[in-house]
Amino acid sequence: QCATRIPEAGALLDLLEKCPEHQKKGGFPVVAFEGLDATGKTTVTQSVKDTLNAILLRSPPACISQWRTIFDDEPAPIRRAFYAAGNYILASEIAKASTQAPVIIDRYWHSTAAYTIATEIKGKVQDLPPVHDEVYQWPEDLLKPDLVL
């Protein structure tokens, strides 16, 4: 519905539709690095990539990162949809890459979930969802990394 107002939304959905419904990881390990902004994730992921001769992927994936500033200026539900779609597109890239070499990911689903929770509660810890809320559960249809740091 927002494609008439945000033309990039149509292109994003086209990319998402090209992703296999259930991605399967290849034989190489997949390691995701998470953390706050400006804490050295990019430096560490590059170093680990070089050391392991791995493939480095980032969230949002390169194929949609040019639209990040557009979606970051949209209301929260549209912004969240952009990052969620990015996770599924990235999962498709991870599945393919993990058949060729170890895969290092600079951010993934955890960052999306953390930012969603933080913006929904507006910084008030007492407003966090209960411990067993589904927001904390890994989406069943999203490829999981082997390790998250």
pLDDT digits over 20-67, tens only?
A: 677 789 999 999 999 888 899 999 999 999 999 999 999 999 988 999
pLDDT of residue 4: 67
Backbone angles phi, psi at 33, to 5 degrees: -110, 125
pTM of the model: 0.85
Out of 3.40.50.300, 3.40.50.2020, 3.90.420.10, 3.40.50.800, select the CATH number for domain 7-18+27-148: 3.40.50.300
Distance from chain centroid for Cα 72: 15
Between 126 and 92, the higher pLDDT residue: 92
Q: What do you get for the CA distance between the two ends of the chain, in Å?
A: 37
Q: What is the pLDDT of residue 33?
A: 96
Contact 26, 100 (CB under 8 A): yes
pLDDT in tens, 91-118: 999 999 999 999 999 999 999 888 888 8
Query: Residue 132: its pLDDT value, please?
Result: 86
CA quadruple 98, 95, 58, 146: dihedral sign: negative
